[in-house]
């Protein structure tokens, strides 16, 4: 656009109306057109594989690239034409050969609502501005409370910026219980948090950011299925209290990112209560369920597994029964977290921390005298008086609630059940096609994770690995890591690509050694039994190519 486009009112008005919604909304077609252009640009260059192509730019230049703001405005269509460049190398979660991490394709209903509400920019910290959009937050909180078994009239919930933030909130509430004046005086030495060994690293991150320190995050031992060894957890709690220190929070597994392990929160809470009495504590340590992945399976709590109206296979019904049995105990925890963008088919970022007693949020309330003048209406619902965030989109609150309604519990059951069925299909194809090259090592998984332990040709571990043999475990760990690194760097035709990931600890051996594996995890409703077989065949082809170029090694892992 020429720089003199703003020389008169009409030029400015034309440019303005191409970018901003009019007060009457009369130019919404311009937005719809740009959204369509953006989608066409992104999809027309997405290629045939599960990763967006890294094709070189035609002339190597871009009018909006290089870190320099242009002097004159760039036409929106021209700016959008750069999408292919910015998407290069990113994953395509809707592709049937994408099976890494816990990333679902977002639903159209959620995306549509997110776009529409974002037009109005409601800030979810103040009811004066966000008004009824905040009712969507309350609706989600009550729905989650009902799912888990809390009293929805007493529970409360807040949207926040991710699973890390749900842990941050939970630990901060625990701090406010253990040391109510910590916000003013600082944290006393020795304040601790007890979690489990396979817990997500965000729990330690939260301790670091809150000033507790990662050394004061104490990891209890885990069992082979990644649930927490509750005897070890109690011993860790006792050690903190015996030293005269304060125990702010006990964090249990509510569906680990690997294996979907869920702890028994009835036992954890009972243990907590025993310790409160025994040590005559003047506070009650907070119990948090880190269910940011597992929460979605609460939709099966009231599903009749014996009748099984959706027709899930017997192995899947068995998994669901075990998972539901454990998830029913989450109601005993003081709080739990949800990542709707993980197992709720929502776009980033949409997470919620839910408290059994909503009054716990008031423990985080800031002094009104030092706050900026955001909250003029004292009668409005103003969550910004106690949220960490002072900018908090309400668009994702509305979009998440609409997305959850569009799916319903039955839709969630179908999607999650499908993921479990595809995990069973993957296991079957591994046994049928690749038994000498790889094996599934998480036989007792709660969720859709499939961990593949790959073996060098003719390695004795391939016929039955001894996980008590540390030397052997480390040798195969190195092999799997080397294979995955090699696989990730190969340039293969798009139509032959797969997107899988690696776990550095599918589980821990009795001696504490992590077990490395290739991880296959699909939440894609388009993923089918035939796709599962094709994925294993492509993975097997890559492994045999790797074996052909890899130097042979002896059983000690030393190259010959």
Fold of 92-162+292-559: 3.40.640
What would the mean pLDDT of 316-324 be, rounded to a whole number? 96
pLDDT at 385: 84
Residue 355 phi, psi (nearest 5): -105, 135
**pLDDT tops 80 at residue 319:** yes
**pLDDT tops 50 at residue 548:** yes
Q: Strand order of the sheet with strand 286-290?
A: 156-160, 351-355, 335-339, 286-290, 247-253, 192-196, 217-220
Task: Label residue 149 left, alpha or beta by phi (over 0 means left) and psi (-120 to 50 means alpha).
Answer: left
To the nearest whole percent, how much of the chain has pLDDT over 70? 92
pLDDT in tens, 1-18: 445 555 556 789 999 999
Cis peptide before 349 (omega within 30 of 0): yes
Q: What's the rounded Cα separation, in Å, for the pair 491 and 424?
A: 29
pLDDT at 128: 84
What would the mean pLDDT of 73-101 be, rounded to a whole number? 94
Most confidently predicted of 67-81, 410-424, 495-509: 410-424
Q: What's the rounded Cα separation, in Å, for the pair 397 and 355?
A: 17
**pLDDT tops 80 at residue 86:** yes
Per-chain mean pLDDT for the chain: 91
**pLDDT tops 90 at residue 60:** no
Q: Which of 504, 467, 481, 502 shows the shortest CA–CA distance to 550? A: 481
What would the mean pLDDT of 50-74 be, rounded to a whole number? 74
Residue 1 DSSP symbol:
-
Q: What's the rounded Cα separation, in Å, for the pair 250 and 415?
A: 32
Residue 373's pLDDT band (cuts 50, 70, 90): very low
Which of the two residues, 129 and 326, has the higher pLDDT score? 326
**pLDDT tops 50 at residue 559:** no
| Residue entry with tokens 């910590």 | 182
**pLDDT tops 60 at residue 213:** yes
Q: Which of 401, 414, 421, 440 shows the shortest CA–CA distance to 527? A: 421
DSSP secondary structure string for all residues of 390-403: SS-BSHHHHHHHHH
pLDDT in tens, 479-490: 999 999 999 999
pLDDT at 222: 87
Q: What's the rounded Cα separation, in Å, for the pair 543 and 536?
A: 10
**pLDDT tops 60 at residue 558:** no
pLDDT at 382: 85
pLDDT at 556: 54
Let me know: does 533 contact 97? Beta carbons within 8 Å: no
Say if strands 217-220 and 192-196 run parallel, antiparallel, or are unpaired: parallel
**pLDDT tops 70 at residue 369:** no
Residue 59's pLDDT band (cuts 50, 70, 90): low
pLDDT in tens, 280-303: 999 999 999 999 999 999 999 999
Q: Strand order of the sheet with strand 438-440?
A: 438-440, 450-454, 517-520, 501-503
Domain boundaries along the sequence of the chain: 29-90, 92-162+292-559
Q: Mapping DSSP to helix (H, G, I), strand (E, B) and coil, where does residue 294 land?
A: helix
**pLDDT tops 60 at residue 375:** no
pLDDT at 175: 97
């Amino acid at each position: 656009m020429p720089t003199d486009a703003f020389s008169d009112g009409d030029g400015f008005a034309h440019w303005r109306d191409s970018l901003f919604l009019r007060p009457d909304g009369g130019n919404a077609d311009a937005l719809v057109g740009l959204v369509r252009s953006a989608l066409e640009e992104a999809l027309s260059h997405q290629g045939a594989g599960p990763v967006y192509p890294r094709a070189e730019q035609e002339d190597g230049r871009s009018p909006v690239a290089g870190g320099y703001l242009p002097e004159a405005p760039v036409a929106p269509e021209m700016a959008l034409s750069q999408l292919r460049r910015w998407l290069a190398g990113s994953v395509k979660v809707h592709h049937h050969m994408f099976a890494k991490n816990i990333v679902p394709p977002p639903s159209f209903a959620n995306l549509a609502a997110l776009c529409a509400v974002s037009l109005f920019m409601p800030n979810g910290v103040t009811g004066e501005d966000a008004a009824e959009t905040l009712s969507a937050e309350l609706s989600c909180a009550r729905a989650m409370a009902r799912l888990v078994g809390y009293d929805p009239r007493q529970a409360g919930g807040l949207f926040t910026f991710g699973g890390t933030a749900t842990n941050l909130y939970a630990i901060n509430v625990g701090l406010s219980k253990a040391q109510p004046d910590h916000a003013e005086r600082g944290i006393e030495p020795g304040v601790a948090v007890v979690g489990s060994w396979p817990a997500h690293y965000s729990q330690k991150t939260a301790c670091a950011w809150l000033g507790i320190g990662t050394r004061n995050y104490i990891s209890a031992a885990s069992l082979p299925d990644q649930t927490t060894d509750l005897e070890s957890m109690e011993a860790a709690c006792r050690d903190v209290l015996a030293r005269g220190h304060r125990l702010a929070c006990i964090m249990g597994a509510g569906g680990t990112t690997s294996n979907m392990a869920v702890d028994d929160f009835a036992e954890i809470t009972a243990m907590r209560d025993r310790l409160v009495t025994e040590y005559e504590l003047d506070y009650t340590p907070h119990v948090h369920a880190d269910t940011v992945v597992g929460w979605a399976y609460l939709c099966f709590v009231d599903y009749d597994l014996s009748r099984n109206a959706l027709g899930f296979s017997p192995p899947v019904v068995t998994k669901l029964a075990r998972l539901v049995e454990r998830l029913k105990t989450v109601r005993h925890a003081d709080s739990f977290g949800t990542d709707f963008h993980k197992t709720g088919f929502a776009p980033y970022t949409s997470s919620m921390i839910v408290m059994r007693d909503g009054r716990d949020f008031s423990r985080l309330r800031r002094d009104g005298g030092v706050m900026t003048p955001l909250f003029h209406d004292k009668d409005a619902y103003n969550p910004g008086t106690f949220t960490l965030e002072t900018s908090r989109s309400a668009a994702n609150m509305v979009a998440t609630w609409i997305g959850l309604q569009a799916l319903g519990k039955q839709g969630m059951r179908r999607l999650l059940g499908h993921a479990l069925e595809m995990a069973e299909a993957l296991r079957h194809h591994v046994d049928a096609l690749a038994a000498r090259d790889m094996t599934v090592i998480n036989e007792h998984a709660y969720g859709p994770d499939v961990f593949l332990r790959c073996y060098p040709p003719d390695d004795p571990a391939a016929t039955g690995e001894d996980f008590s043999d540390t030397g052997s475990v480390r040798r195969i760990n190195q092999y799997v890591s080397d294979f995955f690194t090699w696989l990730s760097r190969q340039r293969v035709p798009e139509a032959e690509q797969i997107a899988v990931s690696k776990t550095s600890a599918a589980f821990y051996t009795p001696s504490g050694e992590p077990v490395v594996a290739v991880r296959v995890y699909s939440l894609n409703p388009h993923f089918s039994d035939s796709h599962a077989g094709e994925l294993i065949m492509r993975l097997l082809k890559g492994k045999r190519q790797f074996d052909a170029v890899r130097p042979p090694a002896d059983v000690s892992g030393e190259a010959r």
